Chains A and B, each alone.
Chain A
Amino acid sequence: MAATMQLTKVESKLFVRDPIALFFGLVFPGLLLLALGLFYPGFDEPAADLDGARYIDVYAPIVLVLGLATLGLVTLPPILGTYRQFGILRRLRTTPVHPARLLTAQLVVHLGVAIVAAAITILIAKFVFDVPFPQSPLWFALSFLLAALSIFAIGLLVGALARTTVAAQAIGMGIYFPMLFFAGVWIPRSVMSDGLLTVSDLTPLGSAVQALEDSWFGITPSATNLLVMLVYGVVLGAIAVRAFRWE
């Protein structure tokens, strides 16, 4: 336990010392929402094609999921690739501490950064754009944790299979961009066609956006959305743990 605490402490320091990861993981989601709301005409006014909701209301949960995806698919896999390539995981194998604890520490650090980034985003939404605080906080927290679980599991799997830092980066990015599409970053889910919406519902990011949007505005998230995230998280996470190569 002491070792896991120490690992988490050191890995958080290392995360903070990486300015690019820190910017995109911690600040970027809130900054993006701020930029969209301030500079995109009509973004904070009721929109006809959203049945009177505002684009800022719809984009707040999208930006949260974008933040999770950046951490899980862009930041996490290359770190794991580097740790394998440098022999850091292998070196840990010669100590009484199993290298799996380093993975745990990484997941804890990434979750911690994700929570802070989400808090920043929620505060900006509330105080700059008058988006209310999440109306069903417990469902919202559950949805957020399941979203993190499912997205980090994908990142863990990429990190488990990619041999090098560069490979991990490339595969992570290759998943990141199509996933953002299904999350509704370019076309919000509310204006997607039924067919596209079904596909989006079956991706962890699409389900994450819907569950977060629902609970944010006081609607209980659908069992389908929660289940999709849970299944991705558990299945991919289990495969990643089994497939993980320490050297």
Chain B
Amino acid sequence: MAIIEVSDLSKTYDGIAVVDGVSFSVEAGETFGIVGPNGAGKTTTVESVEGLRQPDGGSIEVLGLDPVQDRFEITQRVGAQLQESRLQDKIKVGEALELYASFYRDPADWHKLLDRLGLGGKVNSKYASLSGGQKQRLAVALALVGSPEVAILDELTTGLDPAARRSVWETIEQIKASGVTVVLVTHFMEEAERLCDRIMVMDRGRVVATDSPAGLIGRVGSEQRLRFRPSEPVADEDFMALPEVVSVAHDGSQIVITGTGNVVHAVTALLARRRVIAEELRIEQSNLEDAYLALTNQDATSITAEEEN
């Protein structure tokens, strides 16, 4: 059964369509990722689902309710963590949880919640004294303190260092395991690949693709790349003669071979027959990042140009 059903959602600001005909559905217990470049309309989409924004067109149903009309019921059953939202510097962790717990008719035991999120020892710490990762885990705790059926997390790990990011990922895996439906907006493909059952890729207000991580990677081809330095020279033609090999290139003393199917086996078998050793061998496979860049029509140069601006 679909927990969230969005069809043909559109939202326009100053004549510009920020979200333009977006449709998707999220099943119970699923972790659903929304990825896309800045300005793709991800946040506008989830904030419409939360009922914070009134869509200009299309329909949204969450738990069979209208997020704007049935505001009170939605807020009871959907927990949210907002991008760029923080707490008062001097509020203590325990006070924040106790306060938010008082808002809901069926609050979770917030002491247990804090223990689960590794914040059990921080009950008396003030918000300003928490690290970035702790603040984000507290934001997750506040999103979960009302025992929601759906948790919507918007760029939870942006600005965190790798260790803090991993601790937040473990937190999200715990939420998944407890059966809560999760909608996760993220910039990080590694995060989406690891946590999400399905991913929706958005670009310029539209849905580009919705699929499982493996399905998305499959769409951009199953090309693999081998990179090594041969101990003895081998002619390019000999590699090209293998049916699995698509191209051969040289990068200094290294050879870079791309191919499909069982190309790794074909190349290493050839080298073994010739008694050539492949030194510094690395095998690169397409990953979600490649799929994402291909689907959103971004290549490395255009991204660099964007960052420089």
Contacts and interface: CB of A to CB of B under 8 A. Distances in A.
Q: Do A and B originate from a single complex?
A: yes
Interface string A89-101: 0110111110000
Interface in B40-85: 50, 52, 72, 75-76, 78-80, 82, 84-85
A10 interface: yes
A170 interface: no
24 contacts: A3-B102, A3-B103, A5-B102, A10-B91, A14-B90, A14-B91, A18-B90, A83-B88, A86-B85, A86-B88, A87-B82, A87-B84, A87-B86, A88-B85, A88-B86, A90-B82, A90-B85, A91-B82, A91-B85, A94-B80, A95-B75, A95-B100, A96-B75, A96-B104
B229 to A, nearest CB: 53
Interface size class of A (residues with CB under 8 A): 20 to 34
A82 B103 CA distance: 22
User: Main SS of chain B's interface residues?
Assistant: loop
Interface in B74-122: 75-76, 78-80, 82, 84-88, 90-91, 95-96, 98-100, 102-105
A2 interface: yes
A92 to B, nearest CB: 8
A94 B102 contact: no
A13 interface: yes
Nearest to B50: A94
B75 A94 contact: yes
Contact of B102 (A6, A88, A91): A6
Contacts of A86: 85-88
Nearest to B152: A94
Interface in A195-226: none
B213 interface: no
B99 A10 contact: yes
A96 B103 contact: yes
A164 to B, nearest CB: 14
Given A6-B99, A13-B95, A95 B146 contact: yes
A17 interface: yes
B82 A88 contact: no
A123 B82 CA distance: 48
Interface in A67-108: 82-83, 86-88, 90-91, 93-97
Nearest to A6: B102
A10 B95 contact: yes
A94 B68 CA distance: 11
Interface size class of B (residues with CB under 8 A): 20 to 34
Given A7-B99, A10-B99, A94 B90 contact: no
Contacts of B82: 87, 90-91, 94
Nearest to B90: A17
Interface in A1-24: 2-3, 5-7, 10, 13-14, 17-18
A14 B85 contact: no
Contacts of B99: 6-7, 10
Given A10-B95, A13-B95, A90-B52, A95 B88 contact: no
Contacts of B91: 10, 14
A129 to B, nearest CB: 36
Contacts of B98: 6
Most chain A CB within a 10 A radius of its CB, from B84, B91, B103, B146: B103
B81 to A, nearest CB: 9
Contacts of A87: 82, 84-86
Closest 5 A/B residue pairs (Cβ) = A87-B85, A94-B80, A6-B102, A17-B90, A96-B75
Contact of B52 (A6, A82, A83, A93): A93
Contacts of B72: 96
A88 B5 CA distance: 28
Interface in A215-247: none
Nearest to A16: B90
A186 B20 CA distance: 61
Interface in A162-187: none
A75 to B, nearest CB: 14
A10 B97 CA distance: 11
Given A83-B88, A94-B50, 20 more contacts: A6-B98, A10-B91, A10-B96, A13-B95, A14-B91, A87-B85, A87-B86, A88-B85, A88-B87, A90-B52, A91-B82, A91-B85, A91-B142, A94-B52, A94-B75, A94-B79, A95-B104, A95-B146, A96-B103, A96-B104
